[in-house]
Structure 1
Amino acid sequence: MSLYRSVRAVTGASGTGAIDWDAVAEAAKASTDPGALELSEAERSGYAADVREARDAVGAVGGVEFDVPRTVEVQNRHHWIDANVETFSRVMAPLEDHTEVALPGVSRVLNTGTMSFMLAFLGRNVLGQYDPLLLAEGDADHALYFVHPNIRKVAETLDVEYDRFRRWIAFHEVTHAAEFGAAPWLSDHLEERMEEGIEALAGGSLDREAFRELDAAMTVVEGYAELLMDHAFDDEYADLRAKLDARRRGRGPIAQFVRRALGLGMKRRQYERGKAFFERVADLRGVEAANAVWTSPDNLPTDAELDNPDAWVRRVDP
């Protein structure tokens, strides 16, 4: 790990784009310990079994047919950074193409530094990720990542059983695979909302409706995952959630600021709001009734319905 090499990569940002993504990758990895990735045979088998058993349990509880992505990777932190540099560069390309600044060289260095700092922070903290590969060209398959050094480190920090914690992470990420498997249209829907919002930003305006719909869709994604986790995970996990929340609250002011800047507080709100919505739906009509959200984009709850699940139930299942 070398902060000097990271700074040098940022200040040397070049090219014609608003962000030098090669420099982002170099700087983020230079400031991040990759972590160990020597897996025992038991650990390799454990990851595979966790994903396989999560797929079966989630499918049975939710009543949905899906399969996990062909790409399932156990990564170190540098692997995760590389994968997400590609994702971020793809998602941000439309905004970069429409951005004009007075001092492009200075702006490129600032943008590159911001992105490298963000990816380095996330790379040190992300445990697992279901990546739907939004805005990818062609018929790209989705991907499932586990950042092994972070899972190991957090399990030790929280003083929880490593195998159980790893399994919990696998179940959570596989629930996202179930959502996208149940709704083949979901990726296109999210991409369209993203593109509308980005095009408006590039034109100097804010498409509040597009971002509101995107936030509502992501709230559904996170909330439905929480619902399936509650019913599919083969153990109690309230203690795991409580310890993770306590760990986040116990971080220093700089880490708390970074989390807010990255919108991680908003993601937590999506979890809580979405979970409350689906818990009420399940109470009214059962867990499988919640699958109606994946029938078509028209069945997604509106922003107002997320706070009034009864109204959504009356609309989609009168």
Structure 2
Amino acid sequence: MIDWRLAVALGSRLAGEGPVVSRAEADEAVAELRAGANRSTGLVREFTGLDAPDGTAPILVVDRPGWVQANAEGFAVATRPMVEKLVAHKPPSGLALKVGSKVTGAEVGGLLGFLAGKVLGQFDPFHAPHGRLLLVAPNIVHVERELDVDPHDFRLWVCLHEETHRVQFTAVPWMRDHLFSEIEALSDTVDPGGLLDGGVERIAEALKAARGGGSIVDMFSTPEQRDVLDRVTGMMSLLEGHADVVMDDVGPTVIPSVAEIRKKFTKRRQGVGALDRVLRRLLGLEAKMAQYRDGAQFVRAVVDKVGMEEFNAVWAGPENLPGKAELADPEGWIRRVLA
């Protein structure tokens, strides 16, 4: 149902190559990012108490097309339960299959092409068997130049955040399976007939709603789906906020200019243009920005109250993850989990 080859080709073309750098500069950036990620493992362990086994998830420094390829592979895994359900309901064939796969491939390729120029790094949990860490070198170089910050400090700062995600998923063995189970739960709530019959109209409504802060996710949320999405939002906000706390609290000990970097980076997030802002809302990226903020506030509030060792009860099992409502009520989470 999705022409992944077309998606990768189109996404790579739309993504572009990034800033112009010499071969020596590119080699230096790649080597420094690999070293920064490896160095960050011990820093994250010391600060959080999470101990990730060595060699469980590879670290890859990629260009924009490499990121597109990796995420196409991840999307294929993530969407498989939904696609299988749709195919079982109404198996496509002939011309409809050929044309439909091209259309969906082009849509996915457009999405990947847009995102490929934005992402600095990412932990890919869908790569078997334990996931992998992706660091997008051209984007990191582009942003460090745009912000006019020390490139060595900025690269380590990014590595601290992204390596925290690698540690989260490899030190907490149930996390990856839990994410997959939530994706399965979400696909179980989908009405194949309604989605196939009303998909185009709903996307058109989402495009209009994006101007007011809506997103495609909002348009496909039944009450049952919202329950799953609220749980996933709570989990992802925890992971993003936890990584932000690590990068900013560990940063001053090893990154002299971390305060300047954070100030400029936060200002940059707010300075997007009108079209970019609409696309971010439509794709749910504005909500992702809120995840960093809400998750970090939750983590700081709990750690300030009970300390990091007690906070780490959050990793004991899925039942200890904060729900979306608990992100704004850390005292409630403390009473529920630690009482």
Note whether the superposition's TM-score is higher than 0.5.
yes
Taking the aligned partners of 1:315 and 1:26, their CA distance within structure 2 comes to: 49
Taking the aligned partners of 1:33 and 1:304, their CA distance within structure 2 comes to 40
My pick for the range that moved more, 233-242 or 58-67, is: 233-242
Pairwise mapping of residues 74-113 of structure 1 onto structure 2 (< 5 A)? Answer: 74-99=61-86, 100=90, 107-113=100-106
Query: TM-score when scaled to structure 1?
Result: 0.85
- 1:199 equivalent among 174, 181, 188: 188
Cα distance in 1, alignment partners of residues 330 and 14 from structure 2:
45
Distance 1:49 1:108, change over 3 A: closer
Among residues 298, 310, 313, which one is paired with 1:292 in the alignment?
A: 313
How many angstroms apart in 1 are the aligned matches of 2:75 and 2:171? 25
1:26: which partner in 2? 9
For the pair 1:313 / 2:313, whether they are aligned, the reply is no
SS in 1 for 2:272: coil
Which runs of 5 or more structure 2 residues have no equivalent in the other structure?
195-221
> How big is each residue's C-alpha offset from its partner over 1:213-269, in whole Å with a ceiling of 9 and x where there is no partner?
111111111122122223222335343233233323322211111111221111111
- In structure 2, do the counterparts of structure 1 residues 314 and 82 end up closer, same or farther at CA, with 3 Å as the change threshold? same
Percent identity between the two aligned chains: 32
2:295 aligned with 1:274, yes or no?
Answer: yes
Pair 1:59-2:45 in alignment: yes
Give the match for residue 212 of structure 2: none
2:236 to 195, 207, 218: 218
**SS of equivalent residue, structure 1 residue 201:** coil
Instruction: Report Cα offsets for 1:175-214 as digits up to 9, x if no partner.
Output: 1122112311011111111111122124445522111111
Task: Indicate the RMSD between aligned Cα atoms, in angstroms.
Answer: 2.3
Separation in structure 2 between the aligned mates of residue 251 and residue 96 of structure 1, nearest angstrom: 34
| Cα distance between partner residues in 2 of 1:275 and 1:68 | 28
Aligned partners of 1:265, 1:202: CA distance in 2, in Å? 27
Point out the structure with the larger helix share.
2
Alignment partner of 1:48 is 2:39: no
Cα pair distance change 1:241/1:118, threshold 3 Å: farther
| Offset, 1:92 | 1.2
Partner residue in 2 for 1:231: 249
Match of 2:269 in 1: 248
Asked if 1:177 corresponds to 2:170, the answer is no
- 8 Å CA contact 1:55–1:68 kept in 2: the answer is no
Q: How many residues align?
A: 297
Cα deviation, 1:80-126, whole Å, max 9, x if unaligned, reads 11111111111112222233499555543432222111100111111
TM-score, normalising length: structure 2: 0.80
Partner SS state of residue 118, structure 2 = coil
Q: Secondary structure at the match of 1:31?
A: helix
For residues 134-170 of structure 1, what are the alpha-carbon distances to aligned partners after superposition, in whole Å with 9 as ceiling and x for unaligned?
xx5xx51321111111111111111111111111110
Distance in 1 of aligned mates of 2:134 and 2:274: 29
1:111 alignment partner, SS class: helix
Q: Which residue of 1 aligns with 2:60?
A: 73
C-alpha distance in structure 1 between counterparts of 2:111 and 2:337, whole Å = 40
Residues 147 and 249 from structure 1, CA distance in 2 versus in 1: closer, same or farther, beyond 3 angstroms?
Answer: same
2:198 maps to none
Indicate if the aligned counterparts of 1:129 and 1:146 stay in contact, CA closer than 8 A.
Answer: yes
Matched residue SS, 1:130:
strand
Paired amino acid for 2:114: F
Structure 1 residue 44, shift from structure 2 partner = 4.4
Contact 2:241-2:297 at 8 Å conserved across structures: yes
Quick check: 87-96 or 54-63, which moved more?
Answer: 87-96
